[in-house]
Amino acid sequence: QILILDFGSQYTQLIARRVRELNVYCEIHPYNNLPEITDDIKGVIFSGSPCSVREEDAPDVDVDMFRGKVPVLGVCYGAQLMAQKYGGNVLPSEIREYGRARLSHVDSHFDLMKEISLDSQVWMSHGDTIKELPKGFDIIASTPSVAVAAYKVQNELTYGIQFHPEVTHSEEGKILLRNFVVHICGCAQEWTPDIFAETTIAELKEKLGNDKVVLGLSGGVDSSVAAVLINRAIGDNLHCIFVDNGLLRKNEFESVLESYKGMGLNVKGVDAKQQFYDALEGITDPEGKRKAIGRVFIEVFDQEAHKIQDVKWLGQGTIYPDVIESVSVKGPSATIKSHHNVGGLPEKMNLKVVEPLNTLFKDEVRNVGRSLEIDPNILGRHPFPGPGLGIRILGDITPEKVAILQEVDYIFINGLKEKGLYDDVWQAGAMLLPIHSVGVMGDERTYEQVVALRAVTSVDGMTADWVDLPYNFLQDVSNDIINKVKGVNRVVYDISSKPPATIEWE
Ligand code: XMP
C-alpha cells in the first residue's frame, strides 16, 4: 500500500482517490499520528498544507524515517518541506502561483516525468516557492514562473512537485501519479472491488467466528453493502433490523424490506411509526426533531437487539469520509466524526463495532456493491437523510402531513425516473412548507399548502447546485401534484445553491 501523510491540504482526499483509481490501496494518516511503519508500505506521499514551512511551528515529520528506504513524493508543501529541511531555500513567491500553468521544461527521461508532455497543464496553489534546491536535488520540470515545478534527489527515489497532480485540472496528473505509484514504488494494481469483497469477507469470517452481529439497515447504499458483506461471512448470524420511523418515502418500507429478503438477508422489519410520531408531537425546532428521532431510533433498535440472544457486535455502514477529514491535522480529537445517524448507539449498547466499509469512499462502496451483485436500484439510490421526511416538513410533524409529502415526493421522484433524469441528479426531494396560499380550483377558492421541490448535483453533499430540470418536466410534475394531492395548491422549485442554502430546508 501507499501511505499518504496529511499536512492538512484540502486536496489530500483527492490524492487517495487518484491512487485508488489506479487499483492500489492507500491510507491517509495525519503527519502527527503515524501508523506503524511496516514492509507493506511501498511508498509515501506527503500532502500539501495550508501552512507555510517558514512558520515557527509548521507541521513537520521526520523525513529520514522514509527517505532512502521507500520512494517518497512530496506534493506542494511536502516538496517544500523536504527542500527546506535539507538545506534549500523556500520563500514567499513574488508572483501569484495559483491556478493553471504549463510545463515549459520536462526531463521526461526521469521515471516520474515519463510520458508527461511539454506544455502539459498543471494546477498550482501555493504562496511559497522553492527558490533554491539543496545539493544533490535536480530540477526535472519547470513552468515559466516556477523553476522548480518538480525535483528529484540524485541516486534516490525521492521526488518533489510543487503542482497538484491529484486535481483534474492537472491534465497529466494521473500519469504522474501512475509513474510514482506503479513504476517507482512497484505497487501491483490489484486492489479491485472483487478483491476487496473477497478479502473483507475472509477477514470478517476470521474476526467474527460464530459471534452474532446486529445491524440497522436504512435502505441506503452503505448499510446495505455492509450487511451483504457481513452476511456472506457469517450468514444468518447477522441479524438486520429495518425500522419504519414513519418518515420514509411512500411504499419504501415494504419495497426495501422485500428486496433485502430477496438478497438473502436475515432482516426484521419493525413498525415503530407511532412511537416516532408520539415523540415528535408539537416539536418544530429542526434540531429538536433530529434529537427526538435519534433518541427513539436508539430505543427501538436497542429493544429489538435485546430480543436476539448473545449479540456481541454492532455492524455499521460507516465509510472513509466519516472517519477521516483533512482537518485531522488539527489534532487527534478532530479525526473522528461520529456517524450522525446512529450517534450514541455503540456506547448505549455496549457492543464491539464492526465497520467493513470504513476504508472506502462512496463510489468505491457502490463498486463493491456491484461486485456483490446487489440490486442496482439500491446501489443507485439518492442519499436520504436519517430523519427522513421529518426534516422536510417544516414545522411540527403529523401523520397527515407525512402522507401529503409522501404523495408529492412520490410523484416527483417517479417522474424523474420515468423521464430518465434520476441518475443525472445527486439528490432530490420535496419540502412541505408551513404556509398556506390562495388558489382557485373550479369555482372554489382554496387555501392550501405549498410544496417546494429541490434537486441538486453534488459530489459529496458539502457543496451543491440546483439542477436545471427541463421546464416541461417541472410543468408536468407540478400539474400532477396539484391535481392528485389533496391539500396542496402550489408548487415552487428551489433554485438556490449550497452554500449558503443547505440541501435540506431544516
Ligand atoms: P445539508 O442539508 O446539510 O445536507 O446540505 C447534506 C447531506 O446530508 C443529508 N443530511 C442528513 N443526513 N441525518 C442524515 O443522515 C441528518 O440529520 C441530515 N441532515 C442532512 C442531506 O440529505 C444531504 O444528503
pLDDT of residue 60: 95
Atom 12, ligand 1: residue with shortest CA distance: 385
pLDDT of residue 338: 35
Write down the CATH number for the domain with range 2-184: 3.40.50.880
Q: How far is the CA of 341 from the centre of ligand 1 (A)?
A: 10
Atom 4, ligand 1: residue with shortest CA distance: 503
Quick one: average pLDDT of 106-132? 91
Q: Quote the longest CA-to-CA distance of the chain.
A: 89
Q: How far is the CA of 133 from the centre of ligand 1 (A)?
A: 47
Atom 6, ligand 1: residue with shortest CA distance: 461
Strands, E assignment, 167-274: 212-217, 238-244, 267-271
Q: How far is the CA of 70 from the centre of ligand 1 (A)?
A: 41
Question: Does residue 329 have a pLDDT over 80?
Answer: no
pLDDT of residue 345: 74
User: Alpha-carbon Rg of the chain, whole angstroms?
Assistant: 26
pLDDT of residue 325: 53
Closest-lying ligand 1 atom to the alpha carbon of residue 462:
6
Q: Is 316 in the pocket of ligand 1 (CB under 6 A)?
A: no
Better-predicted residue by pLDDT, 9 or 44? 44
Domain 193-379 CATH superfamily = HUPs (3.40.50.620)
Every domain of the chain and the residues it spans: 2-184, 193-379, 398-493
Q: Is 411 in the pocket of ligand 1 (CB under 6 A)?
A: no
- Residue 395: closest CA among 494, 291, 481, 289: 289
Q: Is 383 in the pocket of ligand 1 (CB under 6 A)?
A: yes
Quick one: average pLDDT of 75-82? 97
Predicted confidence (pLDDT) per residue in 459-488, tens digit:
878 888 999 999 999 999 999 999 999 999
Three-state DSSP state, 213: strand
Q: Is 341 in the pocket of ligand 1 (CB under 6 A)?
A: yes
Q: Is 445 in the pocket of ligand 1 (CB under 6 A)?
A: no
Question: Does the annotation count 164 as an active-site position?
Answer: yes
Is-contact 101 163, C-beta < 8 A?
Answer: yes
Among the listed residues 97, 166, 364, 448, the single catalytic one is 166
Predicted confidence (pLDDT) per residue in 372-424, tens digit:
999 998 999 999 999 999 999 999 999 999 999 999 999 999 999 999 999 99
Quick one: average pLDDT of 101-113? 91
pLDDT of residue 452: 98
Is-contact 98 125, C-beta < 8 A?
Answer: yes
Question: Does residue 203 have a pLDDT over 80?
Answer: yes
SS (H, E, C) 261-324: HHCCCCEEEEECHHHHHHHHCCCCCHHHHHHHHHHHHHHHHHHHHHCCCCEEEEECCCCHHHHC
Quick one: average pLDDT of 342-352? 75
Question: Does residue 341 have a pLDDT over 50?
Answer: no
Question: Does the annotation count 340 as an active-site position?
Answer: no
pLDDT of residue 334: 37
Among the listed residues 26, 76, 185, 240, the single catalytic one is 76
- Lowest-confidence pick of 46-50, 66-70, 164-168, 301-305: 164-168
Q: What angle do CA 253, 254, 257 make, to 5 degrees?
A: 80
pLDDT of residue 13: 87
Q: How far is the CA of 384 from the centre of ligand 1 (A)?
A: 7
pLDDT of residue 332: 35
**How many separate helices (H) and strands (E) can be counted in the chain?**
14, 19
Q: How far is the CA of 288 from the centre of ligand 1 (A)?
A: 15
Closest-lying ligand 1 atom to the alpha carbon of residue 383:
24
CATH class of 398-493: alpha beta
Atom 22, ligand 1: residue with shortest CA distance: 385
pLDDT of residue 344: 66
Mean pLDDT rounded to a whole number for the chain: 92
Where b means 16+ CB within 10 Å and e means fewer, 328-340 reads bbeeeeebeeebe
Percent of the chain scoring above 70 in pLDDT: 96
Atom 18, ligand 1: residue with shortest CA distance: 385
Among the listed residues 164, 172, 240, 304, the single catalytic one is 164
Q: Is 494 in the pocket of ligand 1 (CB under 6 A)?
A: no
Q: Is 387 in the pocket of ligand 1 (CB under 6 A)?
A: yes
Q: How far is the CA of 140 from the centre of ligand 1 (A)?
A: 45
Q: Is 223 in the pocket of ligand 1 (CB under 6 A)?
A: no
pLDDT of residue 336: 33
Q: Is 381 in the pocket of ligand 1 (CB under 6 A)?
A: no
Quick one: average pLDDT of 281-306? 95
- Lowest-confidence pick of 138-142, 248-252, 284-288, 358-362: 358-362
Q: How far is the CA of 270 from the centre of ligand 1 (A)?
A: 23
Residue type, 486: K
Q: Is 385 in the pocket of ligand 1 (CB under 6 A)?
A: yes
Q: Is 340 in the pocket of ligand 1 (CB under 6 A)?
A: yes
pLDDT of residue 360: 92
| Whether the domain at 2-184 and the domain at 398-493 fall into the same CATH topology | no
- Residue 5: closest CA among 29, 38, 36: 29
Residue 286, preceding bond cis, omega within 30 degrees?
no
Question: Does residue 335 have a pLDDT over 50?
Answer: no
pLDDT of residue 98: 80
Atom 10, ligand 1: residue with shortest CA distance: 385
Question: Does the annotation count 239 as an active-site position?
Answer: no
Predicted confidence (pLDDT) per residue in 217-274, tens digit:
999 999 999 999 999 999 999 999 999 999 999 999 999 999 999 999 999 999 999 9
Quick one: average pLDDT of 137-164? 95
